[in-house]
Chain A
């Protein structure tokens, strides 16, 4: 069974700092999604990465997919309190199943 490991589990930093969170797997991803979930809400899709070595940017967020497609990272530049939330990576298993990592709970302090 493929496991998605996210690190760190918790991260609390000051506004304006940079941070990186990671998602790793024991085997190759077919595709990987990153979601952000705020308390009491559903996850919101941020990005999908498919190709090894791929880099995607979404404003201050930069997503990288490892060359071997076994790892991914999310880098946030100049973090803001609005970035606070649970960041989940997820891999599609077959055509319909989505398997989530345990998540990184991020807190940005003003």
Chain B
């Protein structure tokens, strides 16, 4: 099973709302990632969790708050977003530093629209 699932598929939220994106994998991977992808651009890394600890934050604004409750789950909490935050948010996972860390498996993404 090489599946990474993400919910919801689509999300529309106002600038004062609080919402969360969810990601789940059951491949036993120990590294999980959040990416942001704008239209016609490649994915851009936001956060990396390794063994359930935040290891990389690519200077992401604090209105995005990641959480890794356990090795299979990854959340992205959203608060007070701006319209320019509208994008496809992708979750990915990989084996982690002991395996082939560079092979990342992506979920289908959440299409976020901020109004």
- A residues neighboring B (CB under 8 Å): 30-31, 33, 35, 40-45, 48, 88, 92, 95-103, 105
Residue B42 is within 8 A (CB to CB) of chain A in the complex:
yes
Cα of A40 to Cα of B10 in the assembled complex, Å:
10
Q: Is the CB of B102 within 8 A of A92?
A: yes
**Chain A to chain B contacts (Cβ below 8 Å), 13 pairs:** A35-B106, A40-B88, A42-B106, A42-B107, A42-B109, A43-B106, A45-B103, A96-B31, A96-B94, A98-B45, A99-B45, A102-B42, A105-B40
User: Which of these, B45, B92, B103, B108, contacts A41 with CB under 8 Å?
Assistant: B108
Cα of A42 to Cα of B37 in the assembled complex, Å:
10
Q: Is the CB of A96 within 8 A of B109?
A: no
Residue B21 is within 8 A (CB to CB) of chain A in the complex:
no
Q: A96-B48, A96-B55 are in contact. List 15 more A-B contacts (CB 8 A).
A: A33-B102, A33-B103, A41-B108, A42-B92, A42-B108, A43-B43, A45-B103, A45-B105, A48-B102, A88-B43, A96-B56, A96-B97, A96-B101, A97-B48, A98-B102
Nearest-neighbour CB distance to chain B for A30, whole angstroms, equals 8
Nearest-neighbour CB distance to chain B for A65, whole angstroms, equals 14
Q: Is the CB of A48 within 8 A of B103?
A: yes
